Amino acid sequence: VQLVESGGGLVQAGGSLRLSCVYSGIMFDDYTIGWFRQAPGKGRDFVASINVGGRIRYADSLEGRFTISRDGAKNTVFLQMNSLKPDDTAVYYCNANILSRHYWGQGTQVTVAA
**pLDDT tens per residue across span 2-55:** 999 999 999 999 999 999 999 999 998 899 999 999 999 999 999 999 999 999
Q: What is the pLDDT of residues 63-113, one digit of tens each?
A: 899 999 999 999 999 999 999 999 999 999 999 999 999 999 999 999 999
DSSP state, 59? -
Task: Output phi, psi for 14, to 5 deg.
Answer: 90, -10
**Measured distance CA(47)–CA(105) in Å, rounded:** 15
